[in-house]
Structure 1
């Protein structure tokens, strides 16, 4: 039996989610410029994902948020491609099947909204994340799609929905 659950973000989760994302980025040694660390979206994730083709899910265990991921139209290619965004998990949530459950939930949402493909950007040294994406059917492509503004992310992957 899981002690965690996936649910949509609520306004009262915003600060906890912002701190979680930034702490994981610091843990991974990610540059603070040209990555999600500096995204204005982190200040109000609820508002960022409030349109009908976007959603941000959190993983809650007890009263603590231990992970999260979003899905939204890819800027510049909004009609057909969605982007898996801001997927981060605290150390205690890793290796428990939560990442796969989260990806499945996000991709179901994207497919239900009519997207044909999902896109993700990551960093070469985020090996566990890359293994998770690979295990879930994402394939590396040569160059970026859309306009995410994350110029320090150099690994690009897609998956047909």
Structure 2
């Protein structure tokens, strides 16, 4: 697979928005309480900045955006980040793109000084959950206090 991962720039905002909205619909993540409805989805490059403890990446294959994923501070925490909006087009799944995206996010989280990473997702996203488990995330019995994605039913975290 000739894929590379780069930080998002404005030129990729529309492609990432389309992927997030399309995959969100695929899994029924529509409306309030789900990541695809967050305002940042309209222009991801404007919301993620390493100087503010966040970074969003796009996976590109043959010049096309095939997915994305990022990290950002969880609420106002200085030691906990959240793995956010990891979405891949169906044709990109099962080829290692998700693993490479998440690993890039976790590496950057460590570089930014985070000690814990949290995520929430949907139980229907079985392959994503399996990937998170393989990378060391552990299941939580409930979400972390303050979560905004109340539609999610799987919560996980890991020590970085």
Q: Secondary structure at the match of 1:24?
A: helix
> Structure 1 regions of 5+ residues with no counterpart?
none
Q: Does the aligned pair in 1 maintain the 2:30–2:37 contact within 8 Å?
A: no
What is the aligned partner in structure 2 of residue 160 from structure 1? 159
> TM-score with structure 1 length normalisation?
0.94
Instruction: Say if 2:121 and 2:154, in contact at 8 Å, map to a contact too.
Output: yes
Cα RMSD between the aligned structures?
1.2
Q: Is 1:47 aligned with 2:66?
A: no
Asked if structure 1 preserves the Cα contact closer than 8 Å seen for 2:72 and 2:81, the reply is yes
TM-superposed CA distance for 1:147, in Å, is: 2.6
Q: What SS is found at the alignment partner of 2:72? A: strand
Partner of 1:64: 64
CA distance in 1, matches of 2:99, 2:62: 20
- Equivalents in 1 of 2:92, 2:145: separation in Å? 30
Verify the 8 A CA contact 1:74 1:146 in the aligned structure 2: no
> Which residues of structure 2 form unaligned runs of 5+?
none
1:107 to 2:99 alignment = no
Q: Residues 19 and 89 of structure 2 are in contact (CA less than 8 Å); yes or no, is this contact kept in structure 1?
A: yes
Which consecutive segments of 4 or more residues in structure 1 shift more than 6 A? none
The separation in 1 between residues aligned to 2:112 and 2:14, in whole angstroms, is 28
Structure 1 residue 63: Cα displacement: 2.1
